[in-house]
């Protein structure tokens, strides 16, 4: 229930909206009670043919309650859903901030497709908690109190025949459906998340899956998850049906019991016969306030499961710790790594010890085979990850004493995916600086030699790049990512595998562009293909998470067989 308590705690931000929604809901049902009881009185009284003037108050009451019921029902729906959507927006914001805080290194601990399921499906599931779980019991308490008051005024003994079934319907039946449906609900939440994750991965990896002939196995796994969800939903549907049947039965018990005690009271002369119809309506209408509780509490299990999964993300442990009193970054500092070591949760050392120094304006190449620790080093440099042992400093100031956002605003990072969002070229580049003018964007695009290509497009910089940039080539995507990084104007820029996946000619052209465009700023170029490293001030060679050699391009060609082999393979040369 910890996740449920935290969801309730979020209501503290909107106390008046919450109170107003509960008041509108209670008033709406109270108007229903008034409408039916007054209507019953009017019909029963009119059957005795009294003077019309005796019915005038009842007629006005029917009109009043009829209009107020519709108005209050609209206000209740509007206010409750407005509050629910506000809470949902707050939750999405918290998840987004958590993902930002975790960074790539922290997010990597979650399966990508499963994370999509949590952010989309689980958040949507939680929207039902307020409208269907939190508000109805509070409204039911108010209605039960009103019903008790009316029953005591009109016929005290009827309080037992009405409130007894009402309490069973509002407490016992929801408790039973909650206990019986909890396991099914949590199964639905977890398996639906896995199903969404598998579906996302199948869609994204469809070309590879089909090419390898693995579609049958993966589709079977997705079908198995879907069948588990369907089985759990069938169990939940049975509980939903049981709850509805139980409520209808209890309404009948309340009605029959109330009619019986009313008839006894009329026979004894202690109750006006007209009041039998009024009490009959009073016995039925309060159940409107509890009718949704069994299904709501049956659904509570999946909502709590969704909440637990979301709070796993929100409470995820960040690979970096924020300083209580962060200090500012020195002007044009030297970025220095001293004996930095990264050890993951299972105890494996994935990086270090590393010593590296990047002075202002310095260009450093980091080369090594896949798995050498290059990306982990990049995450340490831009503070997506803090070293387990050792330090990273800016002019002697430990980055742990600087706000993470300040470090990431100083040390920029562009990974090998060169991801583009669905939207225009202008929008994708402007992500780096929302205040940048179209002229600023065009300037950086010209700097990476995309100007002629942009001029040839029908909509220029407002051309849509498609889903994940599918409408542009690999080389154009890399250049657009580079333009985005340049617009951010990072003093230190880390480019991780900027030419991966490109043919040699395109790789040479992109490398020429990025070296020309980053002139005058510190650059860390991470690659497993040493193209362009002959223009670096220093090159470090990594293997198994450590630096095994470093020097200039001529020095490494002279003494390092490993580097010389990589250079020859990349350039197609058998000599220096």
Mean pLDDT in order along the chain per 10 residues (576 residues): 73 85 88 87 83 83 89 89 84 83 74 67 73 80 88 89 88 78 61 69 70 71 76 74 86 92 88 88 86 74 75 80 81 87 84 90 90 89 90 89 86 83 88 86 86 88 85 84 85 85 74 80 88 89 91 90 85 59
Which H/E stretch holds residue 397? strand 397-398
What is the DSSP annotation of 180-247? HHHHHHHHHHHHHHHHHHHHHHHHHTHHHHHHHT-HHHHHHHHHHHHHHHHHHHHHHHHHHHHHHHHH
- Reported CATH class of domain 2-314: mainly alpha
Q: How far is CA 422 from CA 230, 235, 456, 463, 464, in A?
A: 33, 40, 20, 11, 7
Please, what's the b/e burial string for 347-359 (b: 16 or more CB within 10 A of its CB; e: otherwise)?
eebbbbbbebebe
Q: Compute the distance between CA of residue 239 and CA of residue 256 in angstroms, rounded to an integer.
A: 26
| Contact predicate 405/398, CB 8 Å | no
On the 0-12 / 13-18 / 19+ scale of CB atoms within 10 A, 48 is: exposed
Token pair of 122, please?
A: 């689980």
Q: Compute the distance between CA of residue 62 and CA of residue 352 in angstroms, rounded to an integer.
A: 81
Q: Compute the distance between CA of residue 182 and CA of residue 177 in angstroms, rounded to an integer.
A: 8
Which segments of the chain belong to CATH 1.20.1560.10? 2-314
Token pair of 358, please?
A: 């990047």
Instruction: Work out whether strand 522-527 and strand 349-358 pair parallel, antiparallel, or are unpaired.
Output: unpaired
CB 103: neighbour CB atoms within 10 A? Answer: 20
What is the DSSP annotation of 141-191? HHHHHHHHHHHHHH-TTHHHHHHHHHHIIIIIHHHHHHHHHHHHHHHHHHH
What is the crossing angle of helices 15-46 and 135-154, to 10°?
40
Which H/E stretch holds residue 445? helix 438-447
Provide CATH code, domain 336-571.
Answer: 3.40.50.300
**Would the pTM of this model clear 0.75, i.e. be above it?**
no
Which segments of the chain belong to CATH 3.40.50.300? 336-571
pLDDT for 576:
43
Which H/E stretch holds residue 389? strand 389-394
As a residue count, the chain comes to 576
| Contact predicate 120/195, CB 8 Å | no
pLDDT for 362:
92
> What is the maximal distance between C-alpha atoms in the chain?
118
Which H/E stretch holds residue 363? strand 363-367
| Contact predicate 288/31, CB 8 Å | no
470 contacts: CB under 8 Å, gap ≥ 6: none
Token pair of 335, please?
A: 């970025």
Kindly tell me the number of DSSP H helices and DSSP E strands found in the chain: 22, 10
């Amino acid at each position: 229930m910890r996740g449920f308590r935290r969801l309730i705690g979020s209501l503290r931000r909107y106390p008046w909206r919450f109170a107003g929604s509960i008041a509108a809901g209670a008033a709406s049902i109270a108007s229903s009670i008034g409408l039916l009881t007054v209507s019953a009185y009017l019909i029963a009284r009119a059957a005795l043919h009294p003077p019309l003037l005796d019915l005038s108050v009842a007629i006005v009451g029917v009109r009043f309650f009829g209009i107020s019921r519709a108005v209050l029902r609209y206000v209740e729906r509007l206010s409750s859903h407005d509050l629910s959507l506000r809470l949902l927006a707050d939750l999405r914001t918290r998840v987004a901030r958590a993902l930002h805080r975790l960074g790539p290194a922290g997010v990597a601990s979650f399966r990508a497709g499963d994370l999509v399921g949590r952010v989309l499906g689980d958040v949507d599931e939680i929207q039902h908690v307020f409208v269907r779980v939190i508000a109805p019991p509070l409204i039911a308490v108010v209605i039960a109190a009103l019903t008790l008051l009316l029953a005591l005024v009109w016929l005290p003994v009827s309080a037992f025949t009405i409130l007894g079934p009402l309490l069973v319907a509002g407490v016992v039946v929801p408790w039973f459906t909650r206990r019986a449906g909890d396991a099914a609900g949590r199964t639905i939440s977890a398996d639906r998340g896995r199903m969404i994750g598998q579906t996302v991965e199948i869609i994204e990896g469809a070309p590879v899956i089909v090419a390898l002939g693995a579609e049958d196995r993966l589709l079977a796994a997705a079908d198995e998850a879907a069948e588990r969800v369907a089985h759990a939903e069938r169990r939940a549907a049975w509980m939903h049906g049981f709850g509805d049947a139980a409520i209808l039965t209890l309404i009948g018990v309340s009605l029959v019991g109330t009619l019986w005690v009313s008839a006894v009271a009329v026979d004894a002369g202690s109750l006006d016969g007209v009041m039998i119809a009024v009490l009959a309506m009073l016995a039925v209408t309060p159940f409107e306030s509890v009718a949704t509780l069994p299904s709501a509490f049956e659904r509570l299990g999946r909502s709590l499961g969704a909440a637990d999964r979301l709070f796993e993300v929100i409470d995820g442990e960040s690979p970096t710790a924020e300083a209580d009193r962060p200090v500012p970054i020195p002007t044009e500092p030297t970025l220095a790594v001293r004996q930095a070591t990264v050890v993951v949760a299972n105890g494996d050392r994935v990086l270090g010890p590393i010593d590296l120094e990047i002075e202002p304006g310095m260009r450093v190449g980091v080369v090594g085979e896949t798995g050498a620790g290059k990306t982990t080093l990049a995450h340490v440099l831009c503070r997506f990850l803090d070293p387990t042992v050792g330090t990273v400093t800016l002019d002697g100031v430990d980055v742990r004493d600087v706000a993470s956002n300040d470090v990431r605003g100083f040390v920029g990072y562009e990974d090998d995916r060169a991801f583009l969002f669905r939207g225009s070229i202008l929008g994708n580049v402007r992500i780096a600086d929302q205040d940048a003018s179209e002229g600023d964007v065009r300037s950086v695009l010209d700097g990476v030699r995309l100007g002629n290509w942009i001029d040839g497009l029908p909509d220029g910089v407002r051309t849509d790049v498609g889903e994940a940039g599918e409408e542009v080539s690999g080389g154009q995507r890399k250049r657009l990512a580079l333009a985005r990084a340049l617009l951010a104007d990072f003093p230190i820029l880390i480019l991780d595998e900027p030419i991966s996946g490109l043919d040699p000619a395109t790789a040479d052209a992109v490398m020429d562009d990025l070296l020309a465009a980053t002139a005058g700023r510190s650059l860390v170029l991470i690659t497993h293909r040493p193209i362009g490293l002959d223009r670096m001030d220093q090159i470090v060679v990594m293997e198994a998470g450590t630096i095994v050699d470093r020097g200039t391009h001529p020095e490494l060609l002279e003494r390092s067989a490993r580097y010389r082999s990589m250079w020859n393979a990349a350039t197609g040369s058998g000599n220096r």
